[in-house]
Amino acid sequence: MDQQLFSHFSRAISVLVFVFGALSCGAIISGDDLGRVNLIHYLLLFSILPLITLVAMLLGLFSQSTDTRFLSNFLLSLPIWPRPWLTQLRALKQHQLLDRWIAFISQLIGLSFGLGCLSAFIVVLLFSDVSFVWRSTLLNAQDVYPFLAALAWPWQFIESAQPIKEVLIASQELRYLPSDKPSVDYGTWWQFLFVAQIFYGIIPRLIGTLWTKWVFNQAFKTHIADNTVLSPLVNQQPIDIELAPISDNRPQLDNYNVICWLSLPPTMMERAINNFSSPQMIYQAGFHGDDEQAAIDDPLPQLVLVAAWEPPLGELADFLARGQGVIMPLDFNQNSWQPLAKRDVDEWQRFAQSQPNWTLFIDKELTS
């Protein structure tokens, strides 16, 4: 596993989320022709949304459930990962590090989004005269003020960032404005919103990011240390590894199931098994499906379709140990088949050698 590759990915996704947060904030704060923006929208983006995600984060930290298989399978099945990254993510899952990495990247996403919103907020305040008002058909200032006061409780020591009931009443935009409405600086709400972002959107996520990054790095270092084998001081005779033969003849499968161990579009799936007889069932298993147990319980022989470029990991070996049939590696780019690289073929031959009930078949009609 390449830790530098994960660092590149973390930076890339943080930049994308930062831009998304800045655009989201900019869209909300743009206001109307008179520079009026809705205070309620800002409360949702800067206070309520971070508060909800903060509660979810705390529940996740103290939850006893460690079953994140569905989430990890969903992430790995998304067609957005470059192939080198996807290989590394699969390696993380194989070595039981994916959960820690997901925890870190989720905190990084929250932090990047908050920083993007805060940056856009500051830029707009610098170059625009913003007037914060709020509108509601059902709520009045007496209903909203206790909620704002509760939100501002963590920063009681910053008097200028506390909500003022009189300003809240004055900044409510009604259909019919009274003529004796006092003159109020509606822009003073920026201090409350700024501090709310810091307390709910930045500080918790910064702490969460630093903590989960440290946990992931420690687990990664422990894994590297546990799997480092010291090289002998003297040269030894290379050991020839026997490779499993590749079947030249198409297997005759009559009553069998197809196990799709890769993310394969439906049209490509039809083409992959077109030259075989119709299977009884098609199961989606491995990182891209949840039919593993059903496939294991089914006693029929299996045709397992795998991605040639993906290294065969222990999860696949555990699955194959309970059945029998044919392993067929595939390589494709969008809707066209690709020739299999020799290094990939060698890797699958070595893997198949350790699977006594399985044969390796490469369909030359799909790879030539």
CB atoms within 10 A of CB 225: 8
Please, which pLDDT band fits residue 243 given cuts at 50, 70 and 90?
low
Q: What is the pLDDT of residue 66?
A: 45
- Spatial contact of 183 and 129, defined as CB atoms under 8 Å apart: no
Domain coordinates of the chain in residue numbers? 3-175+183-224, 246-367
Contact 76, 313 (CB under 8 A): no
pTM score, whole prediction: 0.61
pLDDT in tens, 339-351: 888 888 888 888 8
Q: Are 46 and 122 in contact (CB under 8 A)?
A: no
The string of DSSP codes covering 39-85 is: HHHHHIIIIIHHHHHHHHHHHHHH------HHHHHHHHHSTTS-HHH
- What CATH code would you report for 246-367? 3.40.50
CB of 148 closer than 8 Å to CB of 168: yes
| pLDDT band per the 50, 70, 90 thresholds, residue 79 | low
Among candidates 320, 333, 332, 324, which has minimal Cα distance to 363? 332
**Tens digit of each residue's pLDDT (9 = 90 or more) over 294-337:** 888 888 999 999 888 887 877 888 888 888 899 998 888 777 88
Within 10 angstroms of residue 22's Cβ, the number of other Cβ atoms is 20
